[in-house]
Amino acid sequence: MGWVKVIFIFLRAAVRSQAELAAENLALRQQLAVLEQGSKRPRLRKRDRAFWAWLSWLWPNWRSVLVIV
How do residues 45-60 score in pLDDT, each as one tens digit? 898 888 888 888 877 7
pTM: 0.55
Over residues 13-39, the mean pLDDT reads 79
Q: What's the structural domain count of the chain?
A: 1
Q: With bands split at pLDDT 50, 70 and 90, how would you rate the model's confidence at 13?
A: confident
From 23, 3, 1, 21, select the one nearest 12 (Cα to Cα): 21
Is the pLDDT reported for residue 61 higher than 60?
yes
CA 56 to CA 24: how far, in whole Å?
A: 11
> Mean per-residue pLDDT for 32-55?
81
Domain that holds residue 43: 2-65
